[in-house]
Structure 1
Amino acid sequence: MKKSLVALAALAVAGVASAQSSVTLFGVVDASISGYSATARDNRATVFPNQFGIPTYLNQGSVKTSSTQLANSGYNSSRIGFRGTEDLGGGLAASFWLEAPITNDDGQTGVSTFARRSTVSLSGGFGELRLGRDYTPTFWNDTVFDPFGTNGVGTNLIFTAANAFGNFAPTAAATPGVARIPNVSGNNTTRASNTVGYFLPPNLGGFYGQVMYGFSEQTKYDNGVFTPNAANNSRAGRYVGGRFGYANGPLDVALAYGSSTVGDQYFAGVTTKVNTLNLGASYDFGPVKLFGEVSKIKNKNDYEVTPLLGGRPDIDLTGYLLGVTVPVGAGLIRAAYSHVKYDTNQPFDYFNPANNLDPKANKLAIGYVHNLSKRTALYATIARISNKNGSSLTVGGPAFYAAGTTFTPKSSTGYDFGIRHAF
């Protein structure tokens, strides 16, 4: 009897092992020597005459803040992850994906969170149903159609500005008593938590798509008058979005939209949302591959009762990207130009004409990747941002000195020289 039970247990274990198609450990270790600088300038007049005839020198020139670092993720984001698939039969499969960020430059951040992705899914002929923390639909257009893949100093301005455009959702509480364990941010620019996503099956003749809904997980009160008088307490963190595209041969084009609730003040009757619409495309001619993206992002307040003076106007952010990659033997030349412009939709200021100018910025990035093998590459990137009319975007590193006061942000420059190894 005991032998029979042992045999049955062995068969059961063997059955589970055979059903588990694959479990994979994977990751990227990317390190670079990176330099950053940001220059702010005093735009006031050099000499201010006064009634005593003694010149008063007001202009303080410019101030440059700079830093040189051993950084990570200059070409690909450093990470470590586990993924697996189980064949359930009948065309069904169950999968999981757990991926953690790592900071290999100092070793402080390891497998402390799976903030990059943590999902479980069921797939088949119907497509894929995926649950957990995952990339947002609009992020895919930012990274897929950027020659620099939203990594390092070459990251396009659309993505940089979107990250700084608003607090997309509340940040998770700090981990008590533990240093340098990163919190899982609620910023929905790249990823959203607590999501349910659906992906179309891959056999649609080149058409692909996804939709995503992220729960706010906030407490609701019925009757609503019992809702606590606290800001951002009802729907903040909720996300809804989708992406649909077509990829066939050298062409890839996709349209995406996402809406993130960043604040919901019940008693004030104000809900703040950040809505993103972007269109990206690439075409591979062989000798060169061209990239392009246009994006429009709106930070808007929805009022239950519109204030007498109209409330805060919407803030619009528009941007575009033009990029190219050129294969050269075992290497790849990368270049991109991106531009963003803000519109605060404020009334015309007759007394301060400078306030009527829209903040804007341009960025040029050039880089080279040399593949030593399929998994190991050396890379170099340089980039420069020119800010105008109060825009204060940087390539990374330190912020502008006294931005928004006497000194006006002007230019930001950076470089990455590094090595990437994937496993």
Structure 2
Amino acid sequence: MKKTLIALAVLGACTGAAHAQTNVTIYGLVDTGLIKESGSDVRMGGNEDSRIGFKGTEDLGSGLKATFQLERRFNLNNGTRIAGNNALDKLQGADNGEDGVDWQGAANVGLSSDTWGALRLGRVNDIAIENFGALDPFIYYGVGSSFGAYNLLYSEELANTVRYDSPAWAGFSLNLSYTLGNDTHHGNGEGIYGNDTGGYDDYGNDGFGIGLKYDNGPLMLTANYERIADSDNSRLWDIGGAWTWQGFKVSVGYQDTTVERAAARALGIADMNIDQKDWLVGLQYNTGPHTVKFSYNRGEVESHGDYDGKANKYSLGYTYDMSKRTSLYAMVAYTDSDNNFVGEIYNSNHVADDSVTGVQLGIAHRF
């Protein structure tokens, strides 16, 4: 059960200071199970990232509120910090490994109003990833996740970012973000961009994102564009929609990504320009505590070299909600790729193999 507490009681233990009228919610998720995939041993791991978070608001009057959110993610099975797949963190030299980002989830402060929307500063959700991920029946998690989760520029959270979210007008809403680059001028970016002599002057850039969404009744439509910071202007765009009717939800989507050579090298992928195209078709059916999920994904990598190829993925999943907070889940997925390079990108365990089958069973509890 989520607990709303006076900030003096919660934040006082964390920081020693709080405003007496700030309302704080403690929330979290603990999730783990067993995973077996071709090319790797059975391992224990979660579907969604286990996490603990704090978020709160303070009423400033006239409909204006101050907001904040802090979220830390971890591997439940061994207690270690999550080594995430966040391209921006890698490009800015702040990988999500054990020595990386402390607050891998959100870490921001801002202002919100029912009239003009919300403004947040710090570490916030990536707009394109957030909106497109809503089309995936597996929401980018587990062995069944869509190819969007393996996008070469995938960054679930963006650091050093200002984000604005508009109110909804008859179902329409607008999201905007601006990300500051890791400004290491005069060649100081060489360590990030490999053996290049230019560093930030040649390959650094600020980033921005824009998202449009219509979500009203059974229909949801979205279109998004993003240029990722510190990536030599690497970029992606996606478009898609979903229709919900009597327990059924059908979703379709397309995502197109351009990774410039300097960014591909910095991300440890390859020393070449890479284009990535992904298609998604999803189907869910919910009745009572039971949810059945299916998705088909098709991916294409164009490296303008020896690594071009396509991949297809078929995923089937089932979730049983034992209560509002506790659920059991199971999923199976098969990925078939043209070659090992494409397989390493699209396989959920990132094994360089042209085909991988994955099975996952687990339990999740939200609080």
Q: Same fold (TM over 0.5)?
A: yes
1:90-143: CA deviations, max 9, x gaps?
010000000010111111238981111101011122211110011111101332
CA contact (8 A) 1:281 1:293 kept: yes
CA offset digits 1:257-289 (Å, max 9, x no partner): 0011444xxxxxxxx232101012111011311
1:301 CA drift (Å): 5.9
Paired residues of 1:395 and 1:414 also in contact (CA < 8 A): no
Corresponding residue of 2:244: 284
Q: Which amino acid aligns with 2:228?
A: S
Within a 5 Å distance, the mapping from 1:62-81 to structure 2 comes to 65-72=39-46, 74=47, 76-81=48-53
**What is the DSSP-based 3-state SS (H/G/I as helix, E as strand, rest coil) of the residue aligned with 2:75?**
coil
Q: Which residue of 1 aligns with 2:160?
A: 194
Q: Computing the radius of gyration over CA atoms, which structure comes out larger, 1 or 2? A: 1
Amino acid aligned to 1:32: G
Structure 2 Cα separation of the partners of residues 94 and 286 of structure 1: 38
Q: Name the amino acid aligned to 1:248.
A: N
User: What letter corresponds to residue 210 of structure 1 in structure 2?
Assistant: N
Asked if structure 1 preserves the Cα contact closer than 8 Å seen for 2:140 and 2:148, the reply is: no
Q: Which residue type is aligned with residue 70 of structure 2?
A: L
Could you say what secondary structure the match of 1:369 adopts? strand
8 A contact 1:67–1:398 mirrored in 2: no
Which residue of structure 1 lines up, in the alignment, with residue 200 of structure 2?
233
Q: How far 1:299 sits from its partner (Å)?
A: 1.8
Q: Does 1:396 align with 2:367?
A: no
- The AA in structure 2 aligned to 1:67 is D
Equivalent residue for 2:299, pick from 337, 340, 346:
340
Name the structure 2 match of 1:34. Answer: 35
> Which residue does the alignment assign to 2:275?
316
Contact kept, 8 Å, 2:227 with 2:236, in 1: the verdict is yes
Local SS of the residue matching 1:383: strand
Shift of 1:379: 0.3
Query: What's the secondary structure of 1:142's corresponding residue?
Result: helix
Question: Please, what is the CA RMSD of the aligned residues?
Answer: 2.6
**Residue type at the aligned position of 1:81:** G
Partner Cα distance (1:120, 1:416) in 2:
36
CA 1:342–1:219: 2 relative to 1, 3 Å: closer
Shift of 1:295: 0.8
Q: Is residue 152 of structure 1 aligned with residue 162 of structure 2?
A: no
Residues 107 and 377 (structure 1 numbering): CA distance in 2 closer, same or farther, change over 3 Å? same
Q: Which residue of 1 aligns with 2:215?
A: 247
Question: Quick one: distance in 2 between partners of 1:109 and 1:342?
Answer: 31
SS at match of 1:33: strand
Other structure's SS at 2:130 match: helix
The count of corresponding residues between Structure 1 and Structure 2 is 316
CA distance 1:94–1:299, change in 2 (3 Å): same
Indicate whether 1:258 and 2:221 are aligned.
no
C-alpha distance in 1, partners of 2:356/2:233? 30
Q: Which residue of 2 aligns with 1:331?
A: 290
Q: Is the 8 A contact 1:141 1:279 kept in 2?
A: no
Separation in 1 of the partners of 2:126 and 2:19?
33
CA contact (8 A) 1:216 1:236 kept: yes
Q: Per the alignment, in what secondary structure is the counterpart of residue 289 of structure 1?
A: strand
How far off its partner does 1:16 sit?
Answer: 4.8
The separation in 1 between residues aligned to 2:147 and 2:119, in whole angstroms, is 32
Partner of 1:25: 26
Separation (CA, whole Å) in 2 of partners of 1:278 and 1:232: 29
Q: CA deviation at 1:216?
A: 0.9
Secondary structure, aligned partner of 2:200: coil
1:93 to 42, 58, 65: 65
SS at match of 1:158: helix
1:351-381 alpha-carbon deviations (Å, 9 max, x no partner): xxxx5x8411000000000000110000000
Q: TM-score, normalised by structure 2?
A: 0.79
TM-aligned CA deviation for residue 217 of structure 1: 3.3
| Distance verdict in 2 for CA 1:237–1:383, change over 3 Å | farther
Q: Tell whether the 8 Å contact from 2:275 to 2:302 is kept in structure 1 after alignment.
A: yes
Which residue does 2:364 correspond to in 1? 420
1:237 to 1:373, Cα distance in 2 relative to 1, 3 A? farther
The Cα shift of 1:227 comes to 9.7
The structure with higher relative contact order (CA 8 Å, sep 6+) is 1
Q: Which residue number in structure 2 is paired with residue 10 of structure 1?
A: none
1:369: which partner in 2?
Answer: 319
| Residue identity opposite 1:338 in structure 2 | N
Deviation at 1:205, TM superposition (A): 1.3
User: 2: distance between equivalents of 1:344 and 1:34?
Assistant: 31
Gaps of 5+ in 2: 1-17, 83-97, 191-195, 263-270
CA distance in 1, matches of 2:138, 2:189: 46
Contact 1:145-1:282 within 8 A present in 2 as well? yes
Residues 127-206 of structure 1: matches in 2 within 5 Å? 127-160=117-150, 162=151, 165=152, 189-202=155-168, 204-206=169-171
Amino acid aligned to 2:60: L
The structural deviation recorded for 1:392 is 1.7
The answer to whether the Cα contact below 8 Å between 1:192 and 1:239 also exists between their aligned partners in 2 is no
Alignment partner, residue 108 of structure 2: 119
2:78 counterpart residue number: 106
The amino acid across from 2:31 in the alignment is D
Alignment of 1:207 onto 2:172:
yes
